[in-house]
Amino acid sequence: MKLVARAAAPLTRASIAPALALASKKMQYRKLGHTGLDVSLISFGSWVSFDYQLGIPQAKEIMQACYESGVNFFDNAEVYAHGKSEEIMGAALYELISEGNFSRSDIILSTKIYFGATKEPTPTAKGLSRKHIIEGLKDSLRRLNVDYVDVVFAHRPDPTTPIEETVRAFNWVIEQGWAFYWGTSEWPVEAIQEAHAIAERLNLIPPCVEQPQYNLLHRHRVEVEYAPLYGMHSSPIAQANGSSTITITTRGGMGLTTFSPLACGLLTGKYGTSGTIPPGSRFSIERYKFLADRWLLEDKLKKAEALRPLAAEIGATPAQLALAWCAANPHVSTVLTGATRVEQVYENVKALEFVGKLTPEFLKRIDEALDTSPTLTSSGKL
């Protein structure tokens, strides 16, 4: 049964013009890995916000503000709010498209398959078996109220399923027109390389994008482990070993749709040095209180505070500097951001104005202040 969209007054450019003035008017776009697909450098993900914080009317406002700001990539997953997040996004999209705010072809929609969409999925309703990939994506399309998604991700690696079975299943859903591209999320580099090798051997479609966590406090996987996936890559880690430049040539060309650029909100600076949790923040939500134990640690709080004076130097907020830092990595196709208020959308997009201010010297100062840059040991190992 499809979710019935609620009647609502259509948003217009005039009605949100004052807030739009806060946003950057020059969205940047990058290719999604080696594909021809242009994705906005800032994108929107609904992990926490839809259902737990926002209903359909608010989701509609957020998505419209995103589109008006140049954002064209919207990310979801079957597991988010146990499917409710997809339903809310689907209903909001239905209204926005019906009202002529934009068309389906104007946006890029993605979802992720692995965890299942219920609190306690049965053994066949989760994982990366051919059965769950096909049935799970069908269910996601129903909840999103669309005929296809542009990108479908394998939300985590599945050690219990042969990678060949997973590659064949994603190739099949693309051939059916249910998705145009597929990617991985938080896969180890060896598994991604194996998926590419299998696809090449069997003349199937390989993954073109990876969705990893990436922020100033979580850098190793993107900057070190995934280096072989980027094609011709000049590794700054290799430079630390005494060589001026080492380039690694591979088939890769993988794009990145990075998540958690603000380290679950820590890099906004709103938790200060005490770690006090403000009402309405992500860590105040019962389902996500476990994240506070992971992030609100004295060492991490101090690193987040160290970002504040650096941000002030360039006229940015700590959050905008953290987002700009992620966007400055040329291997990042898009930086996934969240928002519970329209104003946050504009503040996120405005972060792109500061990318050009991140000179090599300024980036070095960030590394020195936070001390989170991956480095080599004397033995040459990380």
Beta strands at 255-258 and 209-210: parallel, antiparallel or unpaired? parallel
Q: Which of 80, 94, 226, 271 is catalytic?
A: 80
pLDDT score recorded for residue 306: 94
pLDDT score recorded for residue 54: 82
* Per-residue pLDDT reduced to its tens digit, 148-180: 999 999 999 999 999 999 999 999 999 999 999
Lookup result for tokens 């989760």: 126
pLDDT score recorded for residue 351: 98
Our answer to whether residue 148 is catalytic in this structure is: no
Beta strands at 332-337 and 255-258: parallel, antiparallel or unpaired? parallel
CATH topology for 19-268+318-370? TIM Barrel (3.20.20)
Distance (Å, rounded) from C-alpha 64 to C-alpha 246? Answer: 44
Distance (Å, rounded) from C-alpha 257 to C-alpha 268? Answer: 20
pLDDT score recorded for residue 275: 53
Which helix H or strand E contains 335, and what residues bound it? strand 332-337
For 262, 277, 290, 291, the CA distances from 282, given in Å and listed in that order, are 12, 9, 10, 9
Structure tokens at 76: 């979801």
Give the 3-state secondary structure of residue 234. strand
Beta strands at 149-154 and 179-184: parallel, antiparallel or unpaired? parallel
Alpha helices in the chain (DSSP H): 13-20, 49-52, 56-68, 84-98, 130-144, 163-175, 189-202, 220, 236-239, 290-295, 298-313, 318-327, 342-350, 360-370
Nearest to 72 by CA among 112, 34, 114, 101: 101
pLDDT score recorded for residue 264: 84
Distance (Å, rounded) from C-alpha 93 to C-alpha 148? Answer: 13
Lookup result for tokens 């001390």: 371
Torsion of CA 287, 290, 295, 299, to 10 degrees: 150
Distance (Å, rounded) from C-alpha 239 to C-alpha 224? Answer: 12
Question: Which residues make beta-bridge pairs with 29?
Answer: 40
Buried b (16+ CB within 10 A) or exposed e, 263-279: bbbbbbbbbeeeeebee
pLDDT score recorded for residue 237: 37
Cα radius of gyration (the chain): 20
pLDDT score recorded for residue 297: 60
- SS3 readout for 30-93: EECCCCCCEEECEEEECCCHHHHCECHHHHHHHHHHHHHCCCCEEECCCCHHHHHHHHHHHHHH
Q: Spell out, as residue ranges, where the chain has pLDDT lower than 50.
A: 1-17, 19-24, 232-252, 376-382
Task: Based on DSSP, count helices (H) and strands (E) in the chain, helices before strands.
Answer: 14, 12
Nearest to 313 by CA among 366, 271, 269: 366
Structure tokens at 73: 């990539």
pLDDT score recorded for residue 12: 44
